[in-house]
A and B are shown apart, each in its own frame.
Chain A
């Protein structure tokens, strides 16, 4: 069963008047205000260069906002000490368009990597990696290297790695960008299952078909600003459709 985003539950991700200007002078985000309740499934859509990836980078604290505040699970990311950052990232599962798998590690080792970093004992690593690979239907491919997997399989390994430590948040940046439509759909099913287990999912995407088909919350970014925020949205704005603001 899928969780329906409940706008009345407390927000676990909050953007408060967030601006981001890069040292080159490029204004990537302007006055972003956004609240994401726990268990939400949110698509960030918009044209290339609109600011979606900047929002993702801010959420995983690869960047700090130039102005404004971002809270995740009560932590203000801009003021978080550098030494606390690894512990914050352990709460988050990350999935990228280019999978970011390590080519010299097997499927098992890639997924186990996220647990090794946490210093988990071997027996727990074994059971949790087996569970994660089972979730993404890759049992039996433990000893295969990424180069011998299809794009969809590689992305499933990346998803297994993102969920193996049971994170509360999944942040995905164009996770279906390199995949054919059928495989992209399979991957989306996985995200829905992870969301159904209670994880909050924020996904930046260009995949119109999937966004339109799933009819989840859609936040459209245009020229660094939120152009619309639909509770059950489509990729492109439908003028006749009533819009629901999150805040």
Chain B
């Protein structure tokens, strides 16, 4: 019986979608526009998070300068201690010679490298920290280690990292806020559109109730129709975004070259999932609320 009711609800939703095509298309259009905005928000958010990830990867690496008189065994012991720390991803020991070679290999240091006599550079431990928030703590551990070069212990720039952390927090908060506003607006739009559709069909609902339909029997087709509408809108929005994504990135790159924005095809599947799910949920929620007033027996 459940299957029969589901079949009836699916048939009824499909028929209603086509029979009230004008209202259905209005709903599809509204949700498509909202989902395009939500999709743009996700894409921009993703692009910025890619840029931020690059920055994070750079600032979550800290170099601990080793004093020249520190015995090698002490350095290895400290390297092991750091490796065992759960906050640390990796530790790489760079000897004085390697440090000099790296310095000389950098094209920016060509002039300086010619003037260097001997090897003034420290050996160092390049530490990659898992979370940007833990870099300060690792820096403190490093500064307390007796083997560190007291004149120039680490390359950690607290202020910059803190500002980066703050910026990334604000950006993700703004993204979530914008997404919430868009979702709320879309639920209200869907609710009102579905309410219009429900109003057109109030007679049908009245008859359903009079012949003994349960609330869920009445509500089911509307909720399914809402899901259908939401998913069609999501598919259209997705298609438009997929087509517009690469040229938009190219245009952005040529206009604002200093922000390393890139096209990420792998993100499309995640975007598709998000949009289809959001479309279905918005449609279902909007219909559920929209139909409520008329369905209550």
List A residues at the B interface (Cβ < 8 Å).
60, 82-83, 85-90, 94, 100-102, 104, 113-114, 116-121, 161, 165
Contacts and interface: CB of A to CB of B under 8 A. Distances in A.
Contact of A89 (B1, B5, B211, B215): B211
B163 interface: no
B297 A114 contact: no
B207 A100 contact: yes
A62 to B, nearest CB: 9
Nearest to A118: B212
B203 A90 contact: no
Contacts of A101: 207
Interface in B1-23: 1, 4-5, 8, 19
A174 to B, nearest CB: 15
Contacts of A86: 209, 212-215, 217, 297
A83 B296 CA distance: 10
B206 interface: yes
B211 A121 contact: no
B204 interface: yes
B208 A117 contact: yes
A101 B206 CA distance: 10
A222 to B, nearest CB: 28
A161 B211 contact: yes
Interface string B64-85: 0000000000000000000000
A100 B213 contact: no
21 contacts: A83-B214, A86-B213, A86-B215, A86-B217, A86-B297, A87-B212, A89-B212, A100-B206, A100-B210, A101-B207, A102-B204, A104-B19, A113-B208, A114-B212, A116-B8, A117-B208, A117-B213, A117-B217, A119-B4, A120-B4, A165-B211
Interface in B161-209: 203-204, 206-209
A75 to B, nearest CB: 14
Contact of A60 (B5, B8, B210, B213): B210
B19 A114 contact: no
Contacts of B206: 100
A94 B210 contact: yes
A89 B8 CA distance: 20
A97 to B, nearest CB: 14
A116 B6 CA distance: 11
Contacts of B204: 102
A83 B215 CA distance: 8
Given A86-B213, A100-B207, 14 more contacts: A86-B209, A86-B212, A89-B210, A94-B211, A100-B206, A100-B210, A113-B207, A114-B211, A114-B212, A117-B208, A117-B212, A117-B217, A120-B4, A161-B211
Given A86-B297, A104-B19, A113 B4 contact: no
Given A85-B297, A86-B297, A102 B203 contact: yes
Contacts of A83: 214-215
Given A85-B297, A113-B207, A90 B212 contact: yes
Closest 4 CB pairs of A and B: A90-B212, A89-B212, A119-B1, A117-B213
